[in-house]
Structure 1
Amino acid sequence: MGRAETMTPILSLSAVELRDRLASGALRAVELVEACLARIEAQEPQVRAWAWHDPAFALAQARALDARRQSGAATGPLHGLPVGLKDVIDTRGIPSENGVAADAGRVPSADATVVARLKAAGAIIMGKTVTCEAAFLQPSVTRNPHDPARTPGGSSSGSAAAVAAGMVPLAVGTQTGGSVIRPAAFCGVVGFKPGFGLIPRTGVLMQSPTLDTLGVFARTVTDAALLAEALMGHDPADPATEPLAVPRLLAGALAAPPVPPVLALVRPPGWPDATPEMRAAMQELAGRLGPQCLPLDLPPLFAEAAALRRCINLAEMAHCHADLDRRAGDSLSPILRAAIAEGRTIPAPDYLRAIEARARLNEALAPIFHRCDAILCPAAPGPAPGRETTGDAIFNGLWTLCGTPAITLPVFQDEGGLPMGAQLVGPRGSDARLLRTANWLAGRLASEGDAP
């Protein structure tokens, strides 16, 4: 199913271009929402990206925002742009069911912090996108827009698929292992997971407080920067956030690097499990970059990263989902119940050791980031597998554990035309610089005929 089929020219524009047209008066929010709704009507029966959406609700927001602009009142950076929200993010007066049967009909009385920020920025809440059960590994009903027999990834399946299918220009997801980067790679869109603690999680289903990170889906690097910047900032209710200035992500992404960036091509743990096509694509990309890409090895400590991340995830999930387990019981999937049960058995010394390892992992990366602007590695082992799984997060979880910013670019295709992603990773605190590097790489590849 080609994304361009039946898609109006409006929906082919980037979010930044749409923002500018809306600001100039060349486009009204109502027109944009109507185009999105038509696309949803055409594609949703096959893709199944939405847990909840109401055309009347979306159009009412658009009319109010058009009236506000016409009145001359101040507008926000996302004024009139439709956004999809993963259904683990609370929305006041709108069902927020966490992908869990026991939460069917749950309607929060307050917005999550990120939803309040979206509304303040002028975004249009198009609806709630499908998530895997409690944002874990049970495959959802959503299908990959490029091949309905394949997974869109998880757990932010609906958010990635909605952007990939052209239903919305922007969407929000969460990542505890690889739930932003992996679906973006499988669906052929840009996925950006900011550094840990930059986007508050108040009002978002918590699975692992040490790991849970909100991220965004978009068609371009600059679109991802536009959305993520609007969501960032300190929230006293989320202790992971700090009272620091919001990084200027969009300006950073648009800036030209003072010198051509240098990337470190690494083969993370799990490299032998990548498909031959993925390994060949990474090597070809490194060859095209020439002296701007250096082959470097990750420190030996990273061999433990997957086990360390899993230890933290399951131990904290057993605590965070204890009430859900009591309420839902046998209605939960076997994979989720088994994970919660395993989490209860993890010894405290093992958990504390895993927590302490995060700082050592980031310290071990310092020599690489001293030589290079970013790490280059696969976003997933290959193209999307079948829908019986959400895919393997082996190339994502280590960066979630470190809390480093990461972004995937849809720069590869397999022999059958299915998307595969290249992932860039930067040191903590370098989100704007990472986006600048990613936009540089996307621009270079576009000039060579491989635009993401």
Structure 2
Amino acid sequence: MISLADLQRRIEAGELSPDAAIAQSHAAIEAKDKDVRAFVRHDTAAKAQVSGPLRGIAVGIKDIIDTANMPTEMGSEIYRGWQPRADAPVVMMLKRAGATIVGKTTTTAFASRDPTPTLNPHNPGHTPGGSSSGSAAAVGAGMIPLALGTQTGGSVIRPAAYCGAAAIKPSFRMLPTVGVKCYSWALDTVGLFGSRAEDLARGLLGMTGRSEFSGIAPAKSPRIGVVRQEFAEAVEPAAEEGLRTAIKAAEKAGASVQIIDLPVAVKEAWRIHPIIQDFEAHRALAWEFDQHHDEIAPLLRASLDETVRLTPKEYDDARRVARRGRRELGEVFEGLDVLLTYSAPGTAPAKELASTGSPRYNRLWTLMGNPCVNVPVMKVGGLPIGVQVIARFGNDPGALAAAWFLENALANSG
């Protein structure tokens, strides 16, 4: 993969020009994307900017995020050729920081269920995950150092795990979702993909200008609570192996690790996530559902048809459960720095299964709004396995510092 941090250091030292850095990504896309199919559009004319902390950094944008100079088709025939007039705020944040937008990456239709043509960069017979398929695969394949995705259930952390990339789903509303096709306004979160935690920190620093992302270093002896999420159904042996490997490396590096159980209210919040998601999806996609029903991708259409009778009372009750869960989850972090759990149920499913994988180990943390970071751990059968580091709401720097600690621990574990 291409490291954003390494590119920045070389550019600042005068060893690499921003133009040369962008040219490297263009060349990598030309060489690799015919096999991975991560991009729906590649702007071959995109040039480096002359200033800004992210100058020389090529970025891919998930194709549900508006761009003024490229169509935003949302993975749907309904929006074929649709050209927004303005860039979404998150795109402008990147541009103002000096980044170069080199293309739009694939998304499942409206960031939902139906697989894209994108292939897993580690094995083309397997899915890259969804819905941020192209962004995860483009970074995992070493085409670009940074990409934007979105997560409503598990669409940043899960594809990052499948593609062997680092990624952060920041605290809810850390990054604006204006100009991003809405699926669920209570859940949709813009996230970043990179090669490691330091890259994510530098990307967020450049985009947001928040001083808390400056000077992040690996955490020292973090206090880690391991959550196996038994309520989220069984895990595959490969994912359990990855979690055990991460625990062993963390303990060897000096972390204190304990197995913890989550409060009942938090477990109940996991159950009601789909109610909030699906109720809001019916409002966010009301025009498409009413005016273009038969053109909606089949898996999404079936899901919308199945949940059309969700009531406002069910939604309001679910929101109350979510609020209780957030209150009680805050208490879990007393005495702990981060939680550690699975990023996905196992390795990436075979492409022939027409599945982007299950978000069942991600959806609770999306609903709670906590920052989550995927840390690649190992490969099983040639496919990556990751673990998920979760910090208290608003403590995104702490999540990245703990993830960086774990990366180093894994690298030094032999």
TM class, shorter-chain normalised?
over 0.9
Deviations 1:182-219 (A, max 9, x none): 00000000010000011001111011000000000000
- Show structure 1 runs of 5+ residues with no match: 1-11, 69-74, 234-245
Partner of 2:102: 126
Q: Which segment drifts farther, 260-269 or 21-30?
A: 21-30
Equivalent pairs, count: 409
User: Quick check: 1:310 aligned with 2:274?
Assistant: yes
3-state DSSP of counterpart to 2:389: strand
TM-score of the pair, normalised by structure 1: 0.87
Partner of 2:23: 34
Task: Return the letter of the residue paired with 2:187.
Answer: L
Partner of 1:180: 156
Deviations 1:153-192 (A, max 9, x none): 0000000000011110110000000000000000000010
Partner of 1:345: 309
Partner of 1:436: 401
Query: Structure 2 matches for 1:133-148, cutoff 5 A?
Result: 133-148=109-124
Q: Which segment drifts farther, 22-31 or 423-432?
A: 22-31
Change in Cα spacing, 1:13 to 1:99, as seen in structure 2 (3 Å) is: closer
Match of 2:358 among 392, 403, 408: 392
Partner of 1:424: 389
8 Å contact kept, 1:185–1:408: yes
3-state DSSP of counterpart to 1:88: coil
Change in Cα spacing, 1:271 to 1:317, as seen in structure 2 (3 Å) is: closer
Change in Cα spacing, 1:178 to 1:250, as seen in structure 2 (3 Å) is: farther
Match of 2:293 among 329, 334, 340: 329
Q: CA deviation at 1:344?
A: 3.0
User: Quick check: 1:191 aligned with 2:156?
Assistant: no
Query: Structure 2 matches for 1:40-55, cutoff 5 A?
Result: 40-55=29-44
- Show structure 2 runs of 5+ residues with no match: none
Q: Which segment drifts farther, 47-56 or 21-30?
A: 21-30
Q: CA deviation at 1:13?
A: 4.8
Query: Structure 2 matches for 1:39-438, cutoff 5 A?
Result: 39-56=28-45, 58=46, 61-62=47-48, 65=49, 68=50, 75-232=51-208, 246=210, 248-252=212-216, 254=217, 256-257=218-219, 259-270=220-231, 272-290=233-251, 292-387=256-351, 388-414=354-380, 416-438=381-403
Query: Structure 2 matches for 1:13-32, cutoff 5 A?
Result: 13-32=2-21
Q: CA deviation at 1:354?
A: 1.3
8 Å contact kept, 1:190–1:407: yes
- Rounded to whole Å, the distance in 2 between the matches of 1:247 and 1:302 is 32
8 Å contact kept, 2:168–2:373: yes
Deviations 1:279-311 (A, max 9, x none): 233234324434611011111233333331100
- Rounded to whole Å, the distance in 1 between the matches of 2:208 and 2:278 is 27
3-state DSSP of counterpart to 2:122: coil
Task: Return the letter of the residue paired with 2:296.
Answer: L
Change in Cα spacing, 1:305 to 1:123, as seen in structure 2 (3 Å) is: same
Structure 1's consecutive aligned runs of 4 or more residues displaced over 4 angstroms after TM superposition are none
8 Å contact kept, 1:321–1:340: no
CA RMSD, Structure 1 to Structure 2 (Å): 1.7
8 Å contact kept, 2:129–2:348: yes
Deviations 1:297-350 (A, max 9, x none): 111233333331100010000000011223432121222122223443111111
- Rounded to whole Å, the distance in 2 between the matches of 1:306 and 1:390 is 20
- Rounded to whole Å, the distance in 2 between the matches of 1:95 and 1:288 is 45
3-state DSSP of counterpart to 2:333: helix
Q: CA deviation at 1:271?
A: 5.7
- Rounded to whole Å, the distance in 2 between the matches of 1:288 and 1:55 is 42
8 Å contact kept, 1:318–1:341: no
Identity of aligned residues (%): 39
3-state DSSP of counterpart to 1:294: strand
Task: Return the letter of the residue paired with 2:237.
Answer: P
8 Å contact kept, 1:117–1:231: yes
Deviations 1:415-450 (A, max 9, x none): x1210111011110111111111111111222224x
- Rounded to whole Å, the distance in 2 between the matches of 1:92 and 1:366 is 40
